[in-house]
Each structure stands twice: as C-alpha cells, then as structure tokens.
Amino acid sequence: MLCCLPVPTVEIQRGVPLKPYTTFKIGGRAKYFVRAETVEEFREALDFARRRNLRVFVLGGGSNILVSDRGFDGLVIHPAQRGLAVASEDEKSSTLRVAAAEKWDDVVRHAVDHHWWGIENLSHIPGQAGAALVQNIGAYGPQLSDCLAQAEVLDMATGQILEFPPARCGLGYRRSIFNSTEKNRYAILGISLRLSKFGKPDLRYPDVAAYFEERGNSSPSLAEIRKAIIAMRDSKFPFPREEKGGNAGSFFKNLQLGEAEFQKLQKRVQKDFPHRAQERLAEIRRRYVGPGPIKVPTAFLMDICGLKGFRLGNAQVNETQPLVLLNLGGATAHDVMSLAGHARRTVAERTGMAISLEPEPVGFSAEEVAEYLNIP
Ligand SMILES: Cc1cc2nc3c(=O)[nH]c(=O)nc-3n(C[C@H](O)[C@H](O)[C@H](O)COP(=O)(O)OP(=O)(O)OC[C@H]3O[C@@H](n4cnc5c(N)ncnc54)[C@H](O)[C@@H]3O)c2cc1C
C-alpha cells in the first residue's frame, strides 16, 4: 500500500532569501519558509517541520536577529495575522488586543491617536507586536511589561492555544520565558495591553526630561511625547530603511550590576582610565535609584574603550550610539560577528566586564557563536 504525507494547504516555499526580512539586510536563505496567516496555517507548518525533523524559527520583523551567511537550515515561520481591537474598557482604561503580526509602532501610533497612555515612550521601535513581548521591549523608561494584560500563545509542542497572565511570561530586563527558559516552545499569537485613559507623561529618563525642559513644556501631550521620542531616536542612529545598509538596534545589552561588581568596575576605571571616564561613571551611580541592579550603559564602556567608529569589513560600531553595529552596505554576518567579538574582547580586557548580545544569532552553531565571541 502506498503511504504518502498529507499535502499542506499552506504555501511552503523553498530557498527563500532572508536578507530582505531583516533590518540588518544580512543573511542567507531559509531552506523552507512559510507565512502563517492563521493558527491553522501555523499548525500545518509545524506538522510539516515535525514530519521532516526540521528545526523551526519564528521570524517577526527581523529587527532583533542576525542571520548567518549560510542562512537557516530548517523552516522559518513568519506570523502574518493582523488585528487590533479594544477587548474591554472601563472609565479608566482600555484593553487593546493586538495580533502578533501588527507592526509595533502602528500599535503605539494607534494608542496615541486614541489618547491612551502607557506605550508612547516605546515609539519607533521596529518589529512585530508579538516579538515585542519576547525581549520585553523597553526604551526611555517604560517596558512592555508595565502595561501587558495577557498573552495568547500557541504551544508548538501540543498545538494548544493558551492564555498567559503577565506573571507566567517571566518578564525582566530584555527577558521573558520566550527568549530564555522556554525558548522555541511557544509562538506568541497576540498580546493584550492595558492602557490608561488618564495617564501622565513619563519623564523619568534624563534625555526626555531635558528635551521638554529646554522647551519649557512640563506637561507634554501624548503626541508631543511621541514626536520627541522619534526625534531623539533618529538623532542617535539610523532607523533601518531599504536603501541604506541596516542595523538591529542595540547589539549589546546594558549591564545590570550588583554593588560588588559595580565597585570592581569603578576600581578598574579609576586605575586605567582618564578622570573624565571616572566622572561619568560616578554620574551613572548618582542617577541610580535602587533597589535592584545598577544599570551601567554598555555604550559608556564601548566609548571609553575607544570603540566608537571601529570598522571591520563592512560593519562598523556606530559613532553616536556605539551599542549599535551598522551594516555599511554589503556587510556579511561574518563581518558583524567578528566586530562584535572584537568589541566584547576589548571591553573585557580593558574593564573586566563581559557584555552580552541582544539580537539572536540565527543559523549559527553554538560553537561558531562561542568562537566569534570568545573572551580568552
Ligand atoms: C533601529 C532599531 C531600534 C531598536 N530599538 C529598540 C529599543 O529601543 N528597545 C528594545 O527593546 N528593542 C529595540 N530594538 C530591537 C527590536 O526592534 C525589538 O526587539 C523587537 O521587538 C523585535 O521584533 P521583531 O518582530 O523584529 O522580532 P525578530 O527580530 O523577528 O525576532 C526576535 C526574536 O523573537 C522571536 N519571535 C518573533 N516573533 C515571535 C512570535 N510571534 N512568537 C514567538 N517568538 C517570536 C524570534 O524567534 C526571535 O527569537 C531595536 C531594533 C532596531 C533595528
């Protein structure tokens, strides 16, 4: 008797170049690629992968990944389900249900247009709404976790749809269960955000406070905050656009140090760096309001280590915001990982601090990543 595999109705493509799906504009091809418009299509794609024993990668807007020059030897599933609607509201708040493939910044614009507070400082972050939860995006003070009401996820092992309250998502600084303990287990189908109808401007971040102080505006509107954030972001590093190279935002995470580690860093800076660097570190310490770890900007470390503008191949450390590694045009993943390794080793040698990557390297083996980033 002839036995055959069921034919999937969802269109599964072969050999799809991933470069155009990333903001870095770097990377090889996916062995298989599928756009999943519905949960059923997602499940079918997972079945396809299971039957062929393929690894699966869920690709959102490609703004927090670096795809290897060899590409991805498995199935890439690209969520494509859109939708943005008020799920519930009361006199104080609106809860917005957002499908995973909505562009995050469209969600922010929608909230600002409707006078809902909570995510305005997260303006102009690229990528999809579902992926925003993966690393609990944050900028200029707030993080997504501040207004998350619920997440709807597909358990990729069982095919079940589950609803997770925020506590189940394990959210922290650039962290969730989705990029740590339960990575590759769940696909996020949608998120619900509780937004306030009567918020007030979040000006705790010094750059934001200074922006409005300079303009004598102590009570900016939502639209003014969004405009300010976009202007500040654009002045620091280029928003990736088709025609100009690319980047993946911050390539390294900021350091979260305990008191003892901070002291260690301070001693090293006092010993090996000019007075100006010591003053800047003291200022970072002054700004810290506990409890919790002391946030030390990795950009500060990269700056004092002379990494601004450093170039390898066609990849370069950004001059104004050195956390960002730039594809100057035609950079390979090898260029970027070599540059990241150089930056990591330089910072470790000169300050004793180990900095870690923010974007996910995709299609690299663990050994390759370790070799690029190795600190002797
Ligand atoms: C110019 C620029 C500025 C940035 N600024 C910031 C910033 O200020 N703050 C900040 O936090 N980040 C920032 N980022 C990083 C990035 O935009 C965010 O992390 C964003 O949320 C990634 O979304 P994405 O759709 O592009 O995800 P992708 O890059 O496609 O994927 C990132 C990770 O999420 C997983 N993933 C994607 N979709 C899903 C899903 N539906 N279910 C499960 N897993 C999924 C992927 O497998 C991968 O592990 C910036 C990036 C750029 C390029």
- Backbone φ and ψ for 90, nearest 5 degrees, come out as -135, -170
Same domain as 124, residue 17? no
Find out whether the beta carbon of 322 lies less than 6 Å from any atom of ligand 1. no
Same domain as 113, residue 18? no
Same domain as 100, residue 68? no
Same domain as 256, residue 228? no
Among residues 29, 35, 174, 194, the one annotated as catalytic is: 174
Same domain as 322, residue 284? yes
Q: Which pTM does this prediction carry?
A: 0.94
Q: Report which protein residue has its CA nearest ligand 1's atom 32.
A: 64
Tokens at 315, concatenated:
């990849």
* Total domains, the chain: 3
| Distance of alpha carbon 7 from alpha carbon 74, whole angstroms | 18
Element (H, E) at 283: helix 275-287
Catalytic annotation present for 219:
no
Same domain as 201, residue 250? no
Name the residue range of residue 49's domain: 13-79
Catalytic annotation present for 358:
yes
For residue 8, the model assigns a pLDDT of: 59
DSSP string, 53-105: T--EEE-SSSSSEEE-TT-EEEEEEEE----EEEEEE-SSEEEEEEETTSBHH
Q: Does the pLDDT of residue 239 top 80, yes or no?
A: no
Q: In CATH, what number is assigned to the domain containing residue 253?
A: 3.90.78.10
Same domain as 281, residue 254? yes
Q: Report which protein residue has its CA nearest ligand 1's atom 14.
A: 249
**Is residue 4 domain-resident?**
no
Average pLDDT of the residues of the chain: 95
Q: Does the pLDDT of residue 237 top 80, yes or no?
A: no
pLDDT in tens, 325-343: 999 999 999 999 999 999 9
Same domain as 178, residue 255? no
9 — pLDDT class (breaks 50, 70, 90)? confident
**Is residue 122 domain-resident?**
yes
Same domain as 166, residue 301? no
**Is residue 7 domain-resident?**
no
Same domain as 293, residue 224? no
Same domain as 340, residue 197? no
Q: Does the pLDDT of residue 6 top 60, yes or no?
A: no
97 — pLDDT class (breaks 50, 70, 90)? very high
Q: In CATH, what number is assigned to the domain containing residue 55?
A: 3.30.43.10
Find out whether the beta carbon of 182 lies less than 6 Å from any atom of ligand 1. no
pLDDT over 90, % of the chain: 91
